[in-house]
Structure 1
Amino acid sequence: MKDGAEVSIVTVQRKGIPTTKTSAILVASIYAGTNETAAMLSASKGYVGVIANTRGKRLSKSDIKPLEYENTDVYEVIDWISKQSWSNQKVAMFGGSYNGFTQWASMKHKVHPALKTIVPMVAIAPGIDYPMENNVLHNYSYSWNFYVTNNKFLDFEASNDFNRWNTLKNTWYKTGVAYNKLDSLDGQENTLWNTYMQHPSYDEYWKKMIPYKEEFAKIDIPILTITGYYDDSQRGAMYYYNQHHKYAKNPNHYLVVGPYDHWTAQTKPEESLRNYKLDKSALINIEEDLIYQWFDYILNEKEKPSILKDKVNFQVMDTDTWMHKPSLGAMTNDTLTFHLSATKTDDFYTLKSKTNTSKIEMKVDFKDRESMNNTEYYPWPLEKENINLKDGLIFKSDALTEDVIINGSFFGNLEFSINKKDVDYSVIVYQLTPEGNYFHLSYFIGRASYAKDREHRNLLTPNQMTQVSFDNSKLISKKIEKGSRIVVVVNVNKNNNAQINYGTGKDVNKENIIDAKIPLKITLTGKSSISLPAWNFAKD
């Protein structure tokens, strides 16, 4: 690298002496030792497979620096590839998760002339969806840092030491010590984690890693983004997609999304996902077929993949069909809007079609470490017979009078007052089927003080009514049959999976159980609404 650092590179070619110059398929990855099969597949398809590992990994003598230097290093790797004797000066990139992030990072400053296309799958966006989600720092990334930095390859022993990680989060929760004491409890310094905690806002530390605002405008190459409805990094993938469309003029950017998670959206989905049986049409081979059909289309002027009938291509769960639209906005022609109401039947409050004068109260005692809140936000399994009716405020709609397809990301506007300066809140949306099962559609977790601006914290005024809006939930497409009901769970995030925001207004990482003297009291009003974007065939 120009600054003297080293990046380790592996190339894979077909046997024999090449007679023509060849395009390269590049994977830029921190996961040293795991991408050789992908490079060999590229070679078998007639390309040169190239793996570039993050500086410090594999044979590099440099210090291991996750995230920080991909914005320059990957560009230099592309430049190096373009100057090889076998290169035809055409480079394509693909990869998922971290390996999706590196593709966008390579274009932070400019697009290399040799880079002809990228295929980012389930791409993380540092500071957006990793290691925090809507400014709430989750502790799953704590162990990842050791996994990728303990040695030149990967420390599977540390990563798979579930007893260590479960003991750590449970001890932290039970004792009520500050979040910034995690590595003290663990007994091993976690330098990268401590760095994360110094940047709770989307500040310059995060902005330097990937394109920011107008920097997306210069990205003019064809792009195929792939993600899943249950991909943990979906909001990262969609952040890039949305920002590119916001700042670039008519970007040549396609989207494929279906009932996949973080793994199957990079490979080939199995027949079932978390106990849900996929439609046959969803069973596409992403890693072996779709990706290389795209590369052949862009690099070799062959036919476009048949699934890409429009710019936005999504599988509609429970219909065994795909829909194809020119934009995300075109996915929707109707909206189901529900307002919270204090009217209660059995264990359920009511969702109503109109605003009302209701006030619904909830108290959360942060001193209480025998129980947790918002423990069922994560969609696993997707369908179950029961949910915990004591965890949060549970609202239920009337039965739907016709079939409808939920298409897109649900959004909401919560009007409430709290006796604190901040709160981490959650909204989960279920389909209650006519058979009485709960199907997890989507969820949102966010910090109220960052609802208006992820770059600047704006504290709430205690005991004053405020409105907090959000639209960054995970998108989904699913048929909701007649007779189903919509169930909404509004909650406060208090569990062992993420920071606990005690609401003092101080740095959340420094708050501890001493700050929990007064329970949080939140009062929601009937002006609060949850809206589900929908496709109504009667309006088509």
Structure 2
Amino acid sequence: LMQWATYTGGVTPQPNLFGDAAFWISKFRELYLSGRPFREFDRMVGNPSPWFQRVLQHPRADDHWRSLRPSAADYARIAIPVLTITGHYDDDQYGAMHYYRSHMEHGTAEAKQRHFLIAGPWDHAGTRTPSRDVGGLTFGPASLVDLNALHKAWYDWTLKGGPRPEFLRDRIAYYVVPGDEWKYAGRLESIAPETRTLYLDSNGSAGDVFRSGSLSSARPGTSSPDRYTYDPLDTRPAALETEEIRSYLTDQRYVLNTFGNGVIYTSEPFAAPAEITGYVRFSAWMALDVPDTDFRVSLYEVPADGTSVLLAEDVKRARYRESLETETLVPSRTVLRYDFDQFPFFSRRVAQGSRLRLFLRCPNSIYLEKNYNGGGVVADETRRDARTAHVTVYHDAKYPSALTLPVVN
């Protein structure tokens, strides 16, 4: 947040400072190890920011944020052609897809026919200048779409009456990894009409990648829950984050070093290839002994050679489990359902012999605002407010925690 504010908050952009990974890692570590409140971070980096402070004043989806978003009536008035471009690993995909889906919900039939979506295998920079290499993965030559040429063709079409760009064969274009293939659809809902549900199960010990629980199509019966502990004062994870992780999509340091914070579930090898395209969903039944904490869920493909590819992640603050608009602290030791439904859109053909791995934990990283689990204003909490969270994850007939996959036939 502050890294972006520093880039954009001046009279001119600050690309050199924005891209100085060593500087930002040193500041993230300083905040993390000091236990000071997140609200002080702008001053710690030497850039007091009214915008940063204003964001922290509105941690829930209140009137401040609603006033900045288009209304249903606003979407209904959009009459111009729209081209939305995002990527599987675009940090801003959430915003791009939120506006796209909102326009599909509230726009007129004519306007929706003129709204096109491209989802490539890119990070945020790649939505303007695609690269074949992203986070340790290398994509095929078809991923290198000439977006400058596409922009020109788009404007020639929409403003000058020229031909429709050849690349836009239908309203949605999405790239399937690793097949180096672009596919097309008219609606998001038509891409993957089938879903496959994998249920969590274990013998009560799923805290280790080598002794993980399972992801299975069989509904669980009698099953012992799994437990893990998140201590906000445990700063050992900082040792994993002393330098920039360039291969962040293939790196396995976090799943191999849980420090007792998290549970892992692995599927059987896929008997045949399967294309997963769209939005995965995950529901977990859990009980806590603290009024609040944060959760992070990561989904990976693990090929037969033991390597790993990050597919998608989602995060959730426990107090917002019911709504982003209302804070509801967690009653102690009560089993509640947590729905993770904000994973990014992606498309990947999971190989025969590969497994899926799901990693659920409370984030304890220099890169994220730390939740000290006290139940107060998170941006103001310090190490003095820290409470250790003991998390119990249920997966039995009464509480069937499950992962749902959108599968293309």
TM norm. shorter chain > 0.5: yes
Alignment-derived partner of residue 249 in structure 1: 108
Q: Give, in angstroms, the shift of residue 385 of structure 1.
A: 7.1
Contact 1:385 1:436 (C-alpha < 8 Å) held by counterparts: no
2-structure distance, mates of 1:523, 1:532: 24
Identity %: 25
**C-alpha RMSD over aligned residues:** 2.4
- 2:178 counterpart of 1:314: no
Alignment-derived partner of residue 124 in structure 2: 262
Q: What is the correspondence of 1:28-43 to structure 2 with a 5 Å cutoff?
A: none
Cα distance change of structure 1 residues 384 and 200 upon mapping to structure 2, 3 Å threshold: closer
1-structure distance, mates of 2:48, 2:252: 43
Q: Give, in angstroms, the shift of residue 162 of structure 1.
A: 4.6
Selected match of 2:212 from 338, 343, 348: 348
Deviations 1:366-414 (A, max 9, x none): 1222335997xx9934335776323231211001111100101211111
Selected match of 1:286 from 136, 147, 151: 147
Q: What is the correspondence of 1:140-151 to structure 2 with a 5 Å cutoff?
A: 141-150=1-10
Alignment-derived partner of residue 237 in structure 2: 371
Selected match of 1:492 from 362, 381, 384: 362
Cα distance change of structure 1 residues 486 and 160 upon mapping to structure 2, 3 Å threshold: closer
Contact 1:374 1:493 (C-alpha < 8 Å) held by counterparts: no
Amino acid at match of 1:318: P
Alignment-derived partner of residue 27 in structure 2: 168
Alignment-derived partner of residue 339 in structure 2: 469
Alignment-derived partner of residue 417 in structure 1: 287
Contact 2:6 2:47 (C-alpha < 8 Å) held by counterparts: no
TM-score (normalizing by structure 2)? 0.89
Alignment-derived partner of residue 255 in structure 2: 388
Selected match of 2:134 from 260, 269, 273: 273
Runs (5+) with no aligned partner, structure 1: 1-140
Q: Give, in angstroms, the shift of residue 163 of structure 1.
A: 4.8
Contact 2:202 2:212 (C-alpha < 8 Å) held by counterparts: no
Q: Give, in angstroms, the shift of residue 206 of structure 1.
A: 2.3
Alignment-derived partner of residue 333 in structure 1: 193
Amino acid at match of 2:277: N
1-structure distance, mates of 2:22, 2:85: 33
Contact 1:373 1:495 (C-alpha < 8 Å) held by counterparts: no
Pick which of 439-448 and 207-216 moved more.
Answer: 207-216
Cα distance change of structure 1 residues 320 and 197 upon mapping to structure 2, 3 Å threshold: same
Contact 2:315 2:340 (C-alpha < 8 Å) held by counterparts: no
2-structure distance, mates of 1:511, 1:385: 30
Q: Give, in angstroms, the shift of residue 309 of structure 1.
A: 1.8
> Is the partner of 2:195 in helix, strand or coil?
strand
Contact 2:290 2:332 (C-alpha < 8 Å) held by counterparts: yes
Pick which of 212-221 and 433-442 moved more.
Answer: 212-221
Alignment-derived partner of residue 392 in structure 2: 523
Contact 1:387 1:438 (C-alpha < 8 Å) held by counterparts: no
Q: Give, in angstroms, the shift of residue 459 of structure 1.
A: 2.1
Runs (5+) with no aligned partner, structure 2: none
Equivalent pairs counted in the alignment come to 391
Contact 2:264 2:357 (C-alpha < 8 Å) held by counterparts: yes
Cα distance change of structure 1 residues 225 and 447 upon mapping to structure 2, 3 Å threshold: same
1-structure distance, mates of 2:239, 2:276: 27
Q: Which runs of 4+ in 1 moved over 4 A?
A: 160-164, 372-375, 384-387
Contact 1:406 1:477 (C-alpha < 8 Å) held by counterparts: yes
2-structure distance, mates of 1:207, 1:354: 42
Deviations 1:266-293 (A, max 9, x none): 12x2333233221222221012x11111
Contact 2:191 2:278 (C-alpha < 8 Å) held by counterparts: yes
TM-score (normalizing by structure 1)? 0.68
Amino acid at match of 2:406: P
Alignment-derived partner of residue 406 in structure 2: 533
Q: What is the correspondence of 1:19-98 to structure 2 with a 5 Å cutoff?
A: none
Cα distance change of structure 1 residues 478 and 494 upon mapping to structure 2, 3 Å threshold: same
1-structure distance, mates of 2:75, 2:239: 39
2-structure distance, mates of 1:440, 1:161: 25
1-structure distance, mates of 2:253, 2:28: 26
1-structure distance, mates of 2:179, 2:237: 40
Contact 2:255 2:359 (C-alpha < 8 Å) held by counterparts: no
> Is the partner of 2:311 in helix, strand or coil?
strand
Selected match of 2:94 from 229, 235, 240: 235
Q: Give, in angstroms, the shift of residue 188 of structure 1.
A: 4.6
- Higher relative CO (Cα under 8 Å, sequence separation at least 6) belongs to 2
Selected match of 1:225 from 71, 81, 84: 84
Deviations 1:43-94 (A, max 9, x none): xxxxxxxxxxxxxxxxxxxxxxxxxxxxxxxxxxxxxxxxxxxxxxxxxxxx
Deviations 1:296-329 (A, max 9, x none): 1111222211222221111111222211111111
Amino acid at match of 1:183: D
Amino acid at match of 1:206: W
2-structure distance, mates of 1:389, 1:218: 51
Cα distance change of structure 1 residues 224 and 464 upon mapping to structure 2, 3 Å threshold: same
